[in-house]
Chains A and B, each alone.
Chain A
């Protein structure tokens, strides 16, 4: 999510001075529809194979829970969901102040021989996903790993691609994509903030 030294997501950018342009990219209804669509796509691709969802904290976890809920509704089978904190696997630990760790919880059945879908809110540099893949390796051996993101904003620094994308948003490197979810922010919206 956060490449090099550029602050990728300033989460309280309302406080910033100077003119900034905010545009709502996805509304609450759009987000709900997008999650439904991705849930269907995951089911379509998986067929009868069992799927486990792992959200990347913090907002990826909320998205993963919503997705799991939709998948369970559509397929009639419960879909295990967990969270995977990637902080300890990041490649910039020496360059940044220590970060507080987030929750890691792997569903009770483990990950071995399952299709594991990583879920995150914004795909940017790809470094978070690389860290997640490394973390995953220590937790078990899924039969396949896929990636679902709500927003792909481009500017990849690693050869990583999402399997399921809610929306592609062309951005400049110093733009901000703010994902708001009810669980953490009280409302659902995706906004693009031009620097």
Chain B
């Protein structure tokens, strides 16, 4: 306990000397102020989030009242510029389980359709006193811009083709459940890496946690500069599956595909789809993941998606717990760091 207390005093002193400058000190626990990228977390803070989620699940299990008073009186705004079911509901449930007040804002039916800019919307939220803003936007980097305009904490819930850090956290949480510590584990990420914010966040987070990540995709669906990512790259799924502890299938994002990235859907499925034959190449403890929504029959066959070792439904359930952990860690101690 001492160390925390000392750290507190030190960082409070730093805060004072810096005055009201734009550079805000990180929370004393090492948690970043905002969660914009999975790269904002180091091994220590990422583990803190996962451990906290574990404890939250423990605290919530088997109880009469499925609610904690932790964020009572705090307001969390879900600012969604892009369609989403599971992420928005998951964040909403997480905030409500912690007793925060939740405001759902979707671009449809708001002043955005009258042409209000992101900045003006942000200033409105600021004026209404949002303690945390959960932002999904089709433009990469929107949450980052937002974080400069509001005083509350910003959580990136998916920005364009950039990042989706809480998805990576829930994937890591799910993986840790099944595989134990992730250090040295081989995780194969398959499919549309180019358009996938899930892949980007997972590569950053899983490599931070010591896992060995292999990206498998047709060359057309790999981003420029993928060589500098902390991951290996392969074009051959069959070869990659041997010795993999987990395989994470990515959705083929037809809505973001304007060009011809592969000849036909059937050819894609034949080369990069996960079917029963390929599933059998995983070791017995191997798990199958998909961030959803799935294109059944395209990147994954129903038999595999619903079969043994598939943790796809579990991922959704874990999403709520992990997001509770993120909101708790970002929003506690806020009075002190704002002082």
Contact = CB atoms under 8 A, between A and B. Distances in A.
Contact of B69 (A88, A97, A98, A103): A88
B335 A94 contact: yes
B64 A93 contact: no
Given A99-B332, A104-B58, A12 B64 contact: no
Interface in A89-120: 89, 93-106, 110
A75 B40 CA distance: 54
A85 interface: yes
A77 interface: no
A4 interface: no
Interface stretch (B26-34, B83-91, B170-178, B302-310): B26-34
Contacts of B16: none
B43 to A, nearest CB: 15
A96 B337 CA distance: 9
Contacts of B333: 93-98
Interface in A4-48: 7, 9-13, 15
B332 A98 contact: yes
Contacts of A183: none
A12 B2 contact: yes
B67 A101 contact: no
B336 A95 contact: yes
A101 B1 contact: no
A13 B48 CA distance: 25
Nearest to B333: A97
Nearest to B64: A140
A139 B65 CA distance: 7
A64 to B, nearest CB: 17
Nearest to B67: A138
A85 B27 contact: no
Contacts of A138: 63-65, 67-68
A7 B4 CA distance: 10
B1 A10 contact: yes
A190 B10 CA distance: 29
B61 to A, nearest CB: 9
A174 interface: no
B119 interface: no
A134 interface: yes
A98 B68 contact: no
A88 B58 CA distance: 12
A12 B2 CA distance: 7
Interface stretch (B49-57, B143-151, B293-301): B49-57
Given A11-B2, A89-B68, A139-B63, A98 B58 contact: no
Contact of A88 (B51, B65, B328, B335): B328
Interface in B303-338: 328-330, 332-337
B51 A100 contact: yes
Contacts of A105: 58
Contacts of A7: 1-2, 5
A99 B55 contact: no
Contacts of A12: 2-3
Nearest to A139: B63
A102 B70 CA distance: 15
Contacts of B48: 100
B7 A97 contact: yes
Contacts of A13: 2
A55 to B, nearest CB: 14
23 contacts: A7-B2, A9-B1, A85-B55, A88-B56, A88-B59, A93-B332, A94-B332, A94-B335, A96-B336, A97-B8, A97-B332, A98-B27, A98-B329, A100-B52, A101-B51, A103-B55, A103-B58, A106-B63, A110-B62, A137-B65, A138-B67, A139-B63, A140-B64
Interface of A: 2, 7, 9-13, 15, 85, 88-89, 93-106, 110, 134, 137-140
Which 8 residue pairs are nearest across A and B when measured between Cβ atoms?
A101-B55, A97-B28, A138-B65, A97-B333, A98-B332, A104-B59, A94-B335, A93-B332
Given A85-B59, A94-B336, A95-B333, 13 more contacts: A7-B1, A7-B2, A7-B5, A88-B69, A94-B335, A98-B27, A99-B29, A99-B332, A103-B58, A104-B59, A106-B62, A138-B67, A139-B65
